[in-house]
Amino acid sequence: MTIRQRIPLAMAADKTVYPESDGKPMAETDLHREIMFWIIHLLQRFFAGQRVYVSGNLLIYYEQGNPRKSVAPDCFVVWGVEARLRPIYKLWEEGQAPQVVFEVTSKSTRREDMKDKMRLYAQLGVEEYYLYDPTSDYLKPPLVAFQRVGDSFAPMQPDNGEMHLGDLIFLPGEGESPEYVSPLLGLRLALDEENRLQFYSVESGERLLSDFEIGQQAKAAARLADLRTAEVEAENLRLRAELARLRGELA
């Protein structure tokens, strides 16, 4: 008996070629590319072992049969799909659009990031949209967040913004950068003293570390362990020498 796999008619009939590249550069600058990879890797590590797909600079095709209908976010997060390597992402096959998108933006991509992509992401069903301008090219402060309301995006309220306690109003400090809490990611997004984007776990409060930082911590822990071992060995030698001296005096 021959068993044949049943393929949905729409998929079987679709012989459209969906390219894996749109021919555009990966990022504006080396800095933008490094930050893009950094965000992707941090979130991949944070969601490791969960059914959460984190990727970036990957073509998302959103209209079957039309290879011109694509977008490539710098980083995007999708819940409920397998975390595996993909050459492209087809919405009609995956069945789930990204829920969170990050764009590492600059003045040259301002119109696309703030208008064209924002409108498209809202139409696709993206729930949270973050723009980070690492060189403060046009965003001041360089981090801004949006959440979907209906069919469009609205600015997200900073977590460290104006607070009301009865009749008292507490305002953020002068020059204080906004911080945002992502309900979907379970992370707090903030800028450090040098306006570098940082992620903190809402549950633990700990900052997400890069592979390099984790490696540096491991090396520092190993050096500390070696130092403590050397100190213990030196103390043992001292005690043995003292014991030998005392025995000699008692003999």
Question: pLDDT per residue over 63-83, tens digit each?
Answer: 999 999 999 999 999 999 999
> Are 148 and 240 within one domain?
no
For residue 2, is pLDDT > 90? no
Q: Give me the number of domains the chain comprises.
A: 2
> Are 31 and 122 within one domain?
yes
> Are 230 and 198 within one domain?
no
For residue 166, is pLDDT > 90? no
Domain annotation covers residue 4: no
Domain annotation covers residue 30: yes
DSSP character string of 157-173: PPTTS-EEETTEEEPPP
Torsion of CA 52, 192, 112, 37, to 10 degrees: -50
> Are 172 and 111 within one domain?
yes
> Are 131 and 238 within one domain?
no
Domain annotation covers residue 3: no
CATH code for the domain in which residue 148 is found: 3.90.1570.20
Claim: this prediction has a pTM higher than 0.75: yes
Q: By C-alpha distance, which of 200, 184, 180, 181 is closest to 77? A: 184
What is the rounded CA–CA span in Å between residue 27 and residue 74?
8
Q: SS3 for 95?
A: coil
Q: Determine the pLDDT at residue 112.
A: 95
Q: By C-alpha distance, which of 189, 193, 208, 207 is closest to 48? A: 208
Residue whose token pair is 């009865």: 166
For residue 125, is pLDDT > 60? yes
Average pLDDT for 81-91: 97
> Are 85 and 110 within one domain?
yes
> Are 197 and 227 within one domain?
no
For residue 147, is pLDDT > 80? yes
Provide the residue range defining the domain that includes 43: 11-208
Q: Which residue has the higher pLDDT, 170 or 78?
A: 78
Average pLDDT for 11-31: 81
